[in-house]
Amino acid sequence: MADIQNITETVKAIIVKQLAVNADQVTPEARFIEDLNADSLDTVELVMEFEETFDLRISDDVVENMLTVGAAIDYIAKKLDEKAAAENKEA
Amino acid sequence: MKEERRIVVTGMGVVSPVGSTVESAWDNLLAGRSGIRRIGKFAEREYRCQIGGEVSGLDMDKYVSPKDQQRLDPFCHYALAAAQQAMDSAGLQPGTDIPPERIGALVSSGIGGLQTCTLQSQRLENLGQRMVSPLTVPQIIANMAAGHIAIRFHLQGPNFGLVSACATGLHAIGEAAWIIRRGDADAMLAGGAENSVIALAQAAFGAMRALTGSHNDDPEHASRPFDATRDGFVPGSGAGVLLLEELTHARRRGATILAEVSGYGATCDAHHITAPIEDGSGAARAIQVALNHAGLSPEAIGYVNAHGTSTPLNDLVETRALKLALGEHAYHTAISSTKSMTGHMLGAAGGFESVVCILALRNGVAPGTMNLATPDPNCDLDYLPNAARELPDLRHALKLNMGFGGHNAAVVFSRFED
């Protein structure tokens, strides 16, 4: 299983840096656009940062539904689990 | 006939290698202090030119939000800082003192976000197209300085960038004044901003042999306009922005009037991509047009802030241009190049150097041309060598800039009199 706490901390740190917001604003319920003042360009940049940091590919239709911090964390955790499972199979 | 609208300067701001407040930059220029330093990253890689004028003394947090510090190319940071200073010094509140649609901005860059362009090109090459930032385009485009200024101050009047390489800032001021004159706005922020001291520019201007390569160990003496040994310019970064205002508008709100924009001329050499036409006739015509608009004879000009880049050709051609336009008076007017201290701020030069002209008019003193040790027999005018000079009777100052592409701009600033 993915280390949720570690993922959460990394995702939060990326959001704090990219959106220049305070860490205490970055709750699981926080919505990127309404609560964290992101625009559509910010959300694309954020996803790029997630992809680079976690070595993942996140497709555009997923991005459209990734509206909150919690949704991003859940999705990244799920993708990392899938990736680990695939790697185990190969091994 | 409708009476002509007069344009005055009521605010100004600078970001530069010699300081990023009007007061500090002025003090340093009068004292002859250079902002040119050795740049470690260029020295390590053995660039032809290893020196430059990086922005000095800029309190970024005062002018740009933490988020915008990441999201904007540095040339827009410099533009916002200079614009904020200009608005603060003018005490003009859009929405209160002026309807938003009656104030605009024409603050431009000679090149735009070249640093962003370089960085994102590297990402494209190394990481692939998926990793190119969605902010790339808005960071690169040269009109974004004006765009960001509009957003920040809520200015809904005429707003765009214009580009004429090293004449950009001065063309912007001249054109913005004419926008007010024709009645499309009552106030305009105008000038230029440039992030010049970056690797690609340093390499590219170096490849042209446009930069000096002889003073890497003696940066403060590298930029030596009109000196016989001059051998290229030194890049400098920064911004210079004026708040221009229609006279009756400025009066009505009791603004302090710093100077008047009394004439503007724009011409082209139509000659060569980078070399100015050798007889100086293109720049001379720009000066003549500006004097005509101002209704002044050449003898009225008491100070010229020269383009004075410190390249062999520019300083020679500019000297010829001044002789052509001013005649015998070219020998009697005070002339100086503050690029001897700031380096060449490219698209920002006209903005910053216009501030110098206005300060010279207000204070009755002009900065000197530093590092002028060996006179050039072909550059035989009075360039205020190595020291500032008191000019107590100064009433009209001429600002001239020339850009790659053969673009020439001239603006006459005058001490304000009724």
Catalytic residue (one of B148, B171, B215, B307): B307
Query: Is there a domain that residue B2 lies in?
Result: no
Write out the E strands in A1-91. none
Asked whether residue B248 falls in the same domain as residue B351, the answer is no
Give me the pLDDT at residue B2, please: 58
Nearest by CB: A20 against B66, B133, B134: B66
Name which of A31-40, B2-11, B18-27 the model is least confident about. Answer: B2-11
- Domain of B157, CATH number, reads 3.40.47.10
- In terms of DSSP bridges, do strands B301-305 and B334-336 run parallel, antiparallel, or are they unpaired? parallel
Number of domains within chain B: 2
Nearest by CB: B133 against A40, A45, A57: A45
> Is some CB atom of chain B closer than 8 A to the CB atom of A45?
yes
CA distance B258 to B332: 25
Mean pLDDT, chain B, whole residue set: 97
Mean pLDDT across the stretch B26-48? 97
Hey, where are the domains in chain A?
A: 4-90
Mean pLDDT across the stretch A40-54? 94
| Chain A residues closer than 8 Å to B130 by CB | 48, 51, 57
Using the predicted structure, report yes or no on whether residue B205 has a pLDDT greater than 70.
Answer: yes
Asked whether residue B141 falls in the same domain as residue B204, the answer is yes
Which of B206, B231, B252 finishes a domain?
B252
Suggest the residue from B61, B65, B70 to mutate for an interface test with chain A (most A CBs closer than 10 A): B70
CA distance B375 to B65: 48
Give me the pLDDT at residue B218, please: 98
Residues 118 to 137 of B: which have CB under 8 A from any A CB? 127, 130-131, 133-135
What does the pLDDT look like over B91-110, one tens digit per residue?
Answer: 999 999 999 999 999 999 99
| Chain A residues closer than 8 Å to B65 by CB | 20
Asked whether residue B353 falls in the same domain as residue B205, the answer is no
Nearest by CB: B131 against A37, A40, A48: A48
Query: Is there a domain that residue B260 lies in?
Result: no
Annotated catalytic sites of A, by residue?
Answer: 39
What does the pLDDT look like over B357-401, one tens digit per residue?
Answer: 999 999 999 999 999 999 999 999 999 999 999 999 999 999 999
Long-range pairs for B247-252: beta carbons < 8 A, 24 or more residues apart: B247/B5, B247/B6, B247/B7, B247/B8, B249/B98, B249/B186, B249/B187, B250/B8, B250/B10
Query: Is there a domain that residue B1 lies in?
Result: no
Catalytic residue (one of B171, B215, B344, B396): B344
CB B58, CB B153: distance < 8 Å: no
Report CB contact under 8 Å: A48, B66: no
What does the pLDDT look like over B113-155, one tens digit per residue?
Answer: 999 999 999 999 999 999 999 999 999 999 999 999 999 999 9
> Is some CB atom of chain B closer than 8 A to the CB atom of A76?
no
Give me the pLDDT at residue A64, please: 85
CATH topology of domain A4-90: 1.10.1200
**Range(s) of the domain holding residue B17:** 7-252
Which of B213, B230, B252 finishes a domain?
B252
What does the pLDDT look like over B44-96, one tens digit per residue?
Answer: 999 999 999 999 999 999 999 999 999 999 999 999 999 999 999 999 999 99
CB B384, CB B368: distance < 8 Å: yes
Query: Is there a domain that residue B20 lies in?
Result: yes
Using the predicted structure, report yes or no on whether residue A61 has a pLDDT greater than 90.
Answer: no
Work out the pLDDT band at B1, boundaries 50, 70, 90: very low
- Which 8-state DSSP code applies to residue B399? E
Which of B252, B278, B310 finishes a domain?
B252
Q: Is A28 helix (H, G, I), strand (E, B) or coil?
A: coil
Asked whether residue B89 falls in the same domain as residue B211, the answer is yes
Percent of chain A with pLDDT over 90: 79
| Chain A residues closer than 8 Å to B127 by CB | 52
> Is some CB atom of chain B closer than 8 A to the CB atom of A20?
yes
Asked whether residue B313 falls in the same domain as residue B168, the answer is no
Work out the pLDDT band at B302, boundaries 50, 70, 90: very high
Asked whether residue B247 falls in the same domain as residue B270, the answer is no
Which ipTM was obtained for this model?
0.86
Asked whether residue B247 falls in the same domain as residue B158, the answer is yes
Asked whether residue B272 falls in the same domain as residue B354, the answer is yes
Report CB contact under 8 Å: A45, B131: no
Asked whether residue B284 falls in the same domain as residue B373, the answer is yes
> Is some CB atom of chain B closer than 8 A to the CB atom of A23?
no
